[in-house]
Amino acid sequence: MIAVRRIAAAATLAALTAVAAPMAAPSALAATPGADDASFLKAIHQGNLEEIESGTNAGRDAKAACTKKVGAILVRDHTKLDIGVKELAARLGVTLPTAPSPAQQKAIAAVQAKAGTSGYDAAWLKNEDMGHVETLKLIDQEVSTGRNSQVRAAAQAARPVVARHLELIRACERKIS
């Protein structure tokens, strides 16, 4: 569930990179996403939606300044990324979900259950850490095995953003430990 959230974030970033996609060599394979490519776009979009909601929650409910700051960065970056994901999905005829997955919604609720307690920040950061690790795995898989060149390029472009988020999350985890 966290992985899907992270994938969504990566997909958003990848979508922003999709503006460079017209430079890809035209071919039936490049124009038509495979089932895995479409699943990747859907998962990344859901991940972006989850990251935007979770980041907004952190801005409101976190106690530590670094948690609030990371939350704001996630909202900013995943909002931008999702614009690209939506544009790429539309070009490729992929219908995107309208909400985070049930598993993502459950994870959000579990963290939110700790809002107002001293354990909120640590729970939020742990959830974000696990999600970003899983998202990086999904991005790497798409980059190495994806069939559609535009989706692969978007995943590759999203990777540094997701990796940077993980660095920020871990730095904040160390700070509040």
DSSP result, 60-84: HH--SHHHHHHHHHHHHHHHHHHHH
Asked if the structure places residue 27 within a domain, the reply is: no
Cβ contact 51:122 at 8 Å: no
Percent of the chain residues past pLDDT 70, beyond the cut: 82
Number of C-beta neighbours around residue 61 at 10 A: 19
Number of domains in the chain: 1
Phi, psi of 62 (to 5 degrees): -70, 155
Confidence class of residue 146 from pLDDT cuts 50, 70 and 90?
very high
Of residues 22 and 168, the one with the higher pLDDT is: 168
Give mean pLDDT, residues 102-127. Answer: 97
| Mean pLDDT, residues 28-42 taken together | 76
Q: How confident is the model at residue 33 (pLDDT cuts 50, 70, 90)?
A: confident
Is the model's pLDDT at 176 over the cut of 70? yes
Residue 40 lies in a domain: yes
58 close to 71: Cβ distance less than 8 angstroms:
yes
pLDDT(51) > 70: yes
Q: What residues make up the domain containing 12?
A: 2-20+33-176
Q: Is the pLDDT of residue 149 over 50?
A: yes
Residue 28 in any domain: the answer is: no
- What is the CATH number for 50? 1.20.1260.10
User: 26 in a domain, yes or no?
Assistant: no
Query: What's the confidence (pLDDT) of residue 32?
Result: 64
Output the pLDDT for position 14.
Answer: 44
Query: Which class for 174: exposed (0-12), middle (13-18), buried (19 or more C-beta within 10 A)?
Result: exposed
Question: To 10 degrees, the CA torsion angle through 130, 76, 72, 138?
Answer: 0
Whether the pLDDT of residue 106 is over 70: the answer is yes
Q: Side chain identity at 114, as an amino acid letter? A: K
How far apart CA 14 and CA 156 sit, in angstroms, is: 7
Q: Is the pLDDT of residue 163 over 60?
A: yes
CA distances from 134 to 18, 23, 117, 141, 166 (A): 22, 29, 27, 11, 11
Amino acid 35: pLDDT: 80
